[in-house]
Structures are given as C-alpha cells and as structure tokens.
A and B are shown apart, each in its own frame.
Chain A
Amino acid sequence: NAGVMQNPRHLVRRRGQEARLRCSPMKGHSHVYWYRQLPEEGLKFMVYLQKENIIDESGMPKERFSAEFPKEGPSILRIQQVVRGDSAAYFCASSPRTGPHTDTQYFGPGTRLTVL
C-alpha cells in the first residue's frame, strides 16, 4: 500500500507567482489534512478536507490560500501571489476516519516551497 504522496517535493517560486501543491492520500483514505512547518518550528494545522468538502479551515490564512479535494484526483493547496514569508515545508496527511481510535494520520514527505 503506497503511502501519502506529495508533489512536487521542492518548489521554487518568485514573489507574486502562484504555487500549487498536490497530495494523493493513501488508498482508502478520504480525509486529508494540510500542515505548514516554518524552519525550526513545529507543524501548524491549516485545513481539513473530505472529498469535495472543506470541514475546517481555521488554520489557513484568509487571503491568497485555498484548498480543494475533488471527487477525483489529488488534494490541492494553492497559494496565490506568494511572498517570502510563505517559504516553508507543507505537509499533507491522510486518515481513514473510521473512528476516534483508528483516526491516525499518515503524513507525506512534504513539499518544500522557496520563494525568491
């Protein structure tokens, strides 16, 4: 069973460009979480999605950031008009959510975004 896949692994953008990060959850998982990690810090929750629905976006900046998890295809985290402060590692996690005891999240390898 393949793990959570994220691409690209490294992404370089200039200020003002758009960054698009992709996450393919583990097979059978329909719940996706996005987290951001700034250098030398812990992970911060951004958004939680189920197929075609955003459940909790309390950790996501109101402007320039958006996320989706369509019925078919990977989950996408989109950052418009990137700024240097967006430089970070972005991690996706997936979960089967069959119950609170079996709700372990499995993380992907991350996308490291560098904004020049």
Chain B
Amino acid sequence: DAKTTQPNSMESNEEEPVHLPCNHSTISGTDYIHWYRQLPSQGPEYVIHGLTSNVNNRMASLAIAEDRKSSTLILHRATLRDAAVYYCILRDGNSGTYKYIFGTGTRLKVLA
C-alpha cells in the first residue's frame, strides 16, 4: 500500500489560511488522494479528494503537484472548529478493496 508522510502537528491563527502538506512519493497512477479529519472523540469526516487536478469544495481546496508526489490541503480561513487531526490517504482506484490506510496525520491547533 502506498504511504503518506505528514508533519505531526501544525498551528494556525484563527481566520488565517492553513496549508497542510502531504508527501506521497510512491503514488501510482491509479491512486486517489483523500483527506479526512477527525475531531476529538468523533469518527473521521470526509474533507476532499482528487486524482490529478486541483479540487475545491465548500470545506477546503486540494492542490496536487504536477508530478503527484505531494499535495496540500488548504483551509481558507481557519476557525476554532477546524482543530482536528487531518489525515492524507492514498486509495488505490484499481484494487478490489478500496480500503483506507491511515497514517498518523497532522494535528492542527487553531489559536484564537
């Protein structure tokens, strides 16, 4: 299974943008990049996913490097409710299982 590397923790000030990086140098052509976040004592929450092109939704933006070996989750204006552990996951689009392999994620702290 392809692996991802994320910083253990990051801090951001409230109302400022946050860029959460993820390295996935062993990504294959069929791997989708998924981002989830987990708030304290809750299940993971889907944030965004993409394959090659940058993606935007109401929660965040996903910027994917041209060689696809890295990606960045962008929260445009961090709020206190965005404090969570953010997971970057590669999911094989060709496998029959589509299971997620979670890493340790990045713990985002938002300062008021």
Contacts and interface: CB of A to CB of B under 8 A. Distances in A.
Interface of A: 4, 33, 35, 41-45, 48, 55-56, 59, 91, 93, 95, 97, 100-101, 103-110
Contacts of A104: 34, 46, 49
A45 B43 contact: no
Given A42-B104, A48-B97, A105-B46, 17 more contacts: A42-B103, A42-B105, A43-B102, A45-B99, A45-B100, A45-B101, A45-B102, A48-B98, A55-B97, A56-B97, A93-B44, A95-B98, A100-B93, A105-B98, A107-B44, A107-B45, A108-B43
Nearest to B43: A107
Contacts, number: 62
Contact of A103 (B44, B45, B91, B103): B91
Interface of B: 30, 32, 34, 36, 42-46, 49, 51, 87, 91, 93-94, 96-105
B102 A55 contact: no
Contacts of A55: 96-97
B99 A43 contact: no
A91 B42 CA distance: 9
B46 A42 contact: no
